[in-house]
């Protein structure tokens, strides 16, 4: 079975890049990206990717404003767009695979994946199955064989609790090897850096991280990446890392960086944004900007992206029900 995987208005909104304040009207033609988190994280990166890319390639006339709206790991922003700014044609909202996970788990309240217009993705990272350099497993197949014999004796660890993105990577990989994800021993950490430190300190045996965060560790020789959860091998420093699929475990985990718009945005405005983003993704100048942020190419827009996200949510919901998360 193919597992192709790779969630009302907030007070105190923090704004950067403009002189607007919460509740103040937006000038016609101004563009805005809501990052559903505090400054400095992945959603901030996603908004900056669009804002900087569109401005530096001349596809917007004025700087795009970035608005920070943390709360509920994206739920506050999702509810805000649906309840307050459903027809704002100048507003895009940053989203990622994590949003699809939270939608599948029902963490966005009354709204589901059908409530917004999924716009597109400009970049992607990929999950990875990582062990220390002195671990006994030389391949994913060797790890899976030991997991089948004693799934509770091998400690997985990553940033986030059971049900999070990083747990999903471990669960889906286990499922691809006919192992019940509920039997896994999983240790939750505050973030990927803490989990990686635990791996290097022999406190856990397997880390389900992301390729982009492993580059410096690959160069140090302290880790071994058993599998990239990508559709095909990545280039550069990742060229020697086999995919899970080529080792017989058909599971992917793309961590896409994308955007959605309000449900009542006109077709004309939506199509114009799709065209603008698609042109940006194909611009060589943007490719350099994306690579500098540790992301790989991903170009899904419009109906293609909409169907992709909704299929992901359905897959995650099915897994969540299977392992008792819903």
Q: Over the stretch 259-307, which tens digit does the pLDDT of each residue have?
A: 999 999 999 999 999 999 999 999 999 999 998 888 999 889 999 999 9
Instruction: State mean pLDDT over 124-145.
Output: 95
Over the stretch 204-229, which tens digit does the pLDDT of each residue have?
999 998 888 787 788 888 999 999 99
Whole-number Å distance between alpha carbons of 271 and 75: 25
Tell me the two tokens of residue 287: 């490719």
Q: What is the DSSP letter of 211?
A: G
Mean pLDDT (the chain) is 87
Cβ–Cβ under 8 Å, residues 166 and 208 = yes
**Helix/strand/coil for 117:** strand
Is the CB of residue 316 less than 8 Å from the CB of residue 168?
A: yes
Using DSSP, state whether 14 is helix, strand or coil: strand
- DSSP structure class, residue 272: H
User: What does the angle CA 212 – CA 218 – CA 222 come to, to the nearest 5 degrees?
Assistant: 130
By the 8 A CB rule, do 244 and 199 touch? no
Q: Which percentage of the chain shows pLDDT scores above 90?
A: 62
pLDDT band of 82, cuts 50, 70, 90: very high
The number of C-alpha atoms within 13 Å of 42 and in the hemisphere containing its C-beta is 22
> Over 90: is that where the pLDDT of 309 sits?
yes
With cut-offs at 50, 70 and 90, classify the pLDDT of residue 243. very high
- pLDDT for the residue numbered 166: 85
Q: In 3-state terms, what secondary structure has residue 130?
A: strand
Residue 121 confidence class, pLDDT cut points 50, 70, 90: very high
Per-residue pLDDT, averaged over 116-141, amounts to: 96
pLDDT in tens, 162-189: 888 888 899 889 989 999 988 999 998 8
CA–CA distance, 43 with 260 (Å, rounded to integer):
13
pLDDT at 13: 37
pLDDT tens readout for residues 55-77: 999 999 999 999 999 888 789 99
Q: What is the pLDDT of residue 2?
A: 38
pLDDT band for position 1 (50/70/90)? very low
End-to-end CA distance of the chain: 22
Q: Which two tokens stand for residue 53?
A: 């890319």
Kindly indicate the confidence band of residue 128, based on its pLDDT and cuts at 50, 70 and 90: very high
Reported as type and span, the H/E element at residue 206 is strand 206-210
The two three-digit tokens of residue 165, written as one number: 């993105």
Contact by Cβ (8 Å): 93, 33: yes
**How far is Cα 235 from Cα 73, in angstroms, rounded to an integer?**
32
């Amino acid at each position: 079975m193919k597992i192709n995987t790779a969630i009302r208005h907030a007070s105190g909104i923090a704004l950067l890049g403009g002189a607007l304040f919460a509740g103040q009207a937006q000038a016609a033609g101004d563009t805005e990206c809501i990052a559903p988190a505090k400054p400095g994280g992945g959603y901030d990166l996603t908004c900056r990717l669009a804002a900087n890319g569109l401005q530096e390639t001349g596809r917007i006339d004025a700087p795009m404003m970035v608005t920070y709206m943390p709360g509920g790991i994206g739920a506050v922003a999702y509810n805000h767009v649906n309840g307050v700014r459903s027809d704002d044609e100048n507003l895009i909202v940053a989203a990622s695979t994590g949003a699809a996970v939270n939608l599948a788990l029902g963490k966005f309240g009354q709204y589901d994946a059908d409530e917004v217009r999924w716009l597109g993705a400009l970049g992607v990272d990929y999950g990875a199955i990582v062990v220390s350099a002195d671990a006994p497993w030389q391949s994913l197949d060797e790890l899976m064989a030991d997991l089948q014999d004693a799934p509770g004796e091998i400690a997985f660890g990553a940033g986030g609790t059971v049900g999070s993105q990083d747990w999903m990577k471990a669960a889906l990989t286990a499922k691809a090897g006919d192992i019940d994800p509920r039997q896994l021993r999983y240790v939750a950490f505050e973030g990927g850096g803490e989990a990686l430190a635990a791996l290097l300190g022999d406190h856990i045996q397997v880390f389900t991280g992301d390729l982009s965060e492993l580059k410096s560790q690959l160069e140090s020789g302290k880790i071994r990446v058993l599998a990239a959860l990508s559709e095909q091998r990545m280039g550069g420093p990742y060229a020697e890392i086999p995919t899970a699929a080529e080792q017989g475990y058909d599971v992917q985990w793309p961590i896409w960086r994308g955007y959605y718009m309000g449900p009542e945005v006109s077709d004309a405005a939506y199509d114009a944004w799709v065209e603008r983003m698609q042109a940006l993704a194909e611009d060589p100048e943007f490719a350099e900007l994306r690579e500098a942020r540790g992301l790989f190419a991903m170009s899904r827009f419009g109906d293609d992206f909409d169907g992709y996200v909704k299929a992901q949510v359905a897959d995650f919901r099915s897994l969540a029900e299977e392992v008792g998360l819903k």
